[in-house]
Amino acid sequence: MNTPTTDIAQRFGSGQSVRRIEDEGLLKGQGQYTDDLAPAGELKAVFLRSPYPHARIVAIDTAAAGAMPGVVKIVTGAQLVEAGVKALPGNPAFTRAGRAPGVTAPRRALAHERARFAGEAVALVVAATLQQARDAAEAIFVDYEELPHVVDLEQAVGPAAAAICDTAPDNIAAEMRHGDAARAEAAFAQAAHVVRLRVRNQRVSPLSIEPRAVLAWVSEEGRLTLRMSTQMPSGVRDSLSGALGLPKEQLRVTVGDVGGGFGMKTGIYPEDIALAWCAWTLKRPVKWSGERSEEFLSTTHGRDQLARAELALDAGGRILALRLDTLANTGAYATGTGLAIPLMIGPWVQTSVYHVPVIDFHLKGVMTNTAPIGAYRGAGRPEAIFIMERLMDEAARQTGIDRIELRRRNFIRPEQMPYTNPMGQTYDVGEFEKIMDEGLALADWSGFEARAAQSKAAGKLRGLGIATFLEWTGGMALSERVTVEVRADGIIEVFSAVNQMGQGIATTLAQLVVDVFGVPIDKVKVVLGDTDRGDGFGSAGSRSIFAGGSALQLGAEKVLETARGLAGQALEASAADLDYVAGRFKVRGTDLGIDLFEVAARQPERRIFLEHTNTVAGPSWPNGCHVSEVEIDPATGETQVVRYASANDVGRVVNPMIVRGQLDGGAVQGIGQALCEQMVYDAESGQPVTGSLMDYTAPRADIITGDFVTEMNQTVPCRNNPLGVKGVGELGTIGATPSVVNAVADALARAGRKDLAPGLEMPLTPSRVWEMLQQPAA
- pLDDT for the residue numbered 274: 98
CA distances, 113 to each of 151, 173, 220, 741 (Å):
20, 20, 37, 44
Tell me the average pLDDT across 371-400.
97
Write the pLDDT tens digit of every residue in 21-80.
Answer: 998 899 999 999 999 999 999 999 999 999 999 999 999 999 999 999 999 999 999 999
Write the pLDDT tens digit of every residue in 476-494.
Answer: 788 889 999 999 999 999 9
Tell me the average pLDDT across 421-429.
97
Q: Residue 747, Cβ neighbours under 10 Å: how many?
A: 27
Write the pLDDT tens digit of every residue in 249-278.
Answer: 999 999 999 999 999 999 999 999 999 999
- pLDDT for the residue numbered 8: 73
- pLDDT for the residue numbered 90: 77
pLDDT at 3 over 60: no
Task: Starting at the earlier edge strand, list the strands of the sheet with 479-487.
Answer: 524-528, 492-496, 479-487, 607-615
Residue 354's DSSP bridge partners are 411
Least confident of 181-185, 432-436, 701-705: 701-705
CA distances, 134 to each of 50, 150, 270, 722, 733 (Å):
15, 30, 19, 53, 38
Tell me the average pLDDT across 191-211.
97
* Alpha helices for 140-253 (secondary structure H): 153-156, 181-190, 233-244
Tell me the pLDDT of the chain averaged across its residues. Answer: 95
User: For residue 650, which of 542, 489, 507, 558 has the smallest C-alpha distance?
Assistant: 542
| pTM of the predicted protein model | 0.96
Tell me the average pLDDT across 200-210.
96
Write the pLDDT tens digit of every residue in 517-551.
Answer: 999 999 999 999 999 998 888 888 788 888 888 99
How large a percentage of the chain has pLDDT more than 70?
99
- pLDDT for the residue numbered 6: 60
Beta strand ranges found along 101-192 (DSSP E): 114-115, 121-127, 141-146, 172-179
Tell me the average pLDDT across 459-484.
92
715 burial via Cβ count (<10 Å: 0-12, 13-18, 19+): exposed
Domains and CATH numbers, the chain: 7-31+475-615 (3.30.365.10), 34-147+207-298 (3.90.1170.50), 149-205+300-411 (3.30.365.10), 426-473+621-778 (3.30.365.10)
422 pLDDT band (50/70/90 cuts)? Answer: very high
User: For residue 766, which of 672, 628, 636, 635 has the smallest C-alpha distance?
Assistant: 636
Write the pLDDT tens digit of every residue in 671-686.
Answer: 999 999 999 999 999 9
Q: How far apart (Å, rounded) are the C-alpha atoms in residues 555 and 553?
A: 5
- pLDDT for the residue numbered 4: 46
How large a percentage of the chain has pLDDT more than 90?
90
301 burial via Cβ count (<10 Å: 0-12, 13-18, 19+): buried
Contact 650, 731 (CB under 8 A): yes
